Amino acid sequence: MTDPQEPREAAVLVSIQLANVSDVDHAADLEELGRLVHTLGLEVVATISQRRASLSPAAVVGAGKLLELGRMTGGSGVVPNAAHVKVTKAGVHAAAAEARRGEDDDGFDDEGESENEDDFDVDDHGGSYGPMPKRKATVVVVDHEITPSQARNLEKATDAQVMDRTGVIVEIFHRHARSREAKLQVEIARLNYVAPRLRETGGGDRQRGGIGGKGAGESNLELDKRKIRDRVAELKEELELVVKEQETRSKARKEQLRVALVGYTNAGKSSLMRALTGSDVLVADKLFATLDTTVRTLHPETKPRVLVSDTVGFIKKLPHDLVASFRSTLAEALEASLLLYVVDASDPTHEAQLQVTREVLAEIGAHNVPSLLILNKCDRIDEMERAKLRAAHPHAVFLSAKVKDDVTRLRQLLVDHFETTMMEETELVVPYAKQALVSEIHENARVLEETYDEVGARVRLRGQPAVIARFRSMLER
């Protein structure tokens, strides 16, 4: 992880606004990418945005914007051809002329220019390229999933490291994973991402080899890809064993009431988890601070106990490999008695974030689990905004995880929900020969009254139907 005392590497963001994307959504996506890049330990020094019908097949952006990007990174801004022809000054000026015309090969205008002429760097012919950062960027981050060839062309034109949105997210997950399960899941996703982006580096020599070495006619690149396939297979086998252990622990909690906090990354799930359970789970103002599912007991403790779990946050364009890898982790949501959709009410894009959450949960089949909408961070919005939100979400719970009274109110709502929807009242007669069952009843149900006579203990209780059925079965043995 980057030391906060060390200077951060400079990064420039690149984004294409497609025809079906609104200005508001495009701005929100760029802002989110900036936060992802910051979480990765980079400093955003510039942004290049362009409106196009589609990504340029060669290098994402058109020739004019590519030249501008090159000047921000110290590269030529031109992709050399297959013969690696040296970029000449005439070639640079030709690209500059295209930039001044304000059009790229698809007929869409370049956008994102500054209105302040002092912000522009000017070429030999008086043409402007766009605002220049205070220092050269060493990393180019593209807010789209790009092909290996597009990444290579961008690297050649910029002399900088190139990452796409998926690569940034995978790297953040790789750094933040703590449990064995999360590390295995992230490593599988990372290797699946890296494999198609491998390049031949050793001249592509082919030779025979012994066990573990190169096969007949196998190049260095093919050998590396085979090693990755073998490693992914090993990791999947290891992950299966870990998942089985998790399932065993999950079965032990099956009869208990379970609440799962789900929602967009950095919506405040971990803060709410800490407030509801009194636990010391990590709370940080950064994306994907939590990757490991944490399970704690609702505090103060209730009878029967209510377990609260904090899950990995979601994000727009979350790579499918990561969704698949974290399917076992997200199973907490699938097996929960109640889902709390936690939304940052102060975020202007909270509706889109809520939609992303619903889509991911639908993908794993958890959309039918009973749920409650929690509009968190309400201490950051004014009364007018609250009124709008109440009109849009009349059944939502408005709170701030930092306000004790709000958390107490939510806790009581959870208790009342389970009381009215998942519990029933009954009376059991426990013979003296089976008095050990009485302590188990106290542990797994709420005892309303307990009396003793010549037969044994008469216990009036409230509990889940499945738990009561288990008690009756034990009494009949």
Residue 396 pLDDT > 90: yes
Residue 102 pLDDT > 50: no
| CA angle in degrees (0–180, nearest 5) for 68-71-73 | 115
Residue 134 pLDDT > 80: no
pLDDT of the residue at 120? 37
pLDDT of the residue at 133? 73
pLDDT of the residue at 304? 87
pLDDT of the residue at 124? 36
More reliable by pLDDT, 429 or 102 = 429
Residue 204 pLDDT > 50: no
Region 82-110 average pLDDT:
46
Distance separating alpha carbons of residues 110 and 106, to the nearest angstrom: 11
More reliable by pLDDT, 474 or 280 = 474
| Range of weakest confidence among 196-200, 202-206, 362-366 | 202-206
Residues in Cβ contact with 340 at an 8 Å cutoff, skipping those fewer than 6 apart: 259, 260, 261, 262, 263, 272, 371, 372, 374
Region 131-150 average pLDDT:
87
Distance separating alpha carbons of residues 90 and 108, to the nearest angstrom: 25
pLDDT of the residue at 374? 97
45, two tokens: 């020094």
Nearest-10 crossing angle of helices 23-39, 165-176: 40
Name the percent of the chain lying above pLDDT 90.
43
pLDDT of the residue at 315? 82
User: Average model confidence (pLDDT) for the chain?
Assistant: 80
Residue 13 pLDDT > 90: yes
For the entire predicted model, the pTM comes to 0.73
pLDDT of the residue at 108? 39
| Range of weakest confidence among 111-115, 202-206, 209-213, 294-298 | 111-115
pLDDT of the residue at 259? 94
Region 420-443 average pLDDT:
92
- Could you tell me the pLDDT band of residue 110, with boundaries at 50, 70 and 90? very low
Contact predicate 381/415, CB 8 Å: no
Pairing of strands 294-297, 128-131: unpaired
Residues in Cβ contact with 371 at an 8 Å cutoff, skipping those fewer than 6 apart: 338, 339, 340, 341
Pairing of strands 42-51, 9-17: parallel
| Range of weakest confidence among 176-180, 245-249, 443-447, 449-453 | 245-249
Contact predicate 399/378, CB 8 Å: yes
Pairing of strands 161-164, 139-142: parallel
More reliable by pLDDT, 345 or 286 = 345
pLDDT of the residue at 240? 86
pLDDT of the residue at 106? 41
Name the percent of the chain lying above pLDDT 70.
76
| Range of weakest confidence among 197-211, 284-298, 314-328, 350-364 | 197-211
Residue 131 pLDDT > 70: no
Question: What would the pLDDT profile of 155-197 be if each residue is shown by its tens digit?
Answer: 999 999 999 998 998 888 888 777 787 788 888 888 888 888 8
Nearest to 100 by CA among 70, 68, 146, 148: 68
More reliable by pLDDT, 362 or 216 = 362
- Could you tell me the pLDDT band of residue 107, with boundaries at 50, 70 and 90? very low
pLDDT of the residue at 383? 93
Residue 82 pLDDT > 80: no
Region 426-445 average pLDDT:
92
Question: What would the pLDDT profile of 267-316 be if each residue is shown by its tens digit?
Answer: 898 899 999 998 775 555 555 655 566 788 999 888 888 999 888 778 87
Label residue 296 exposed, middle or buried (CB < 10 Å: 0-12, 13-18, 19+): middle
- Could you tell me the pLDDT band of residue 452, with boundaries at 50, 70 and 90? very high
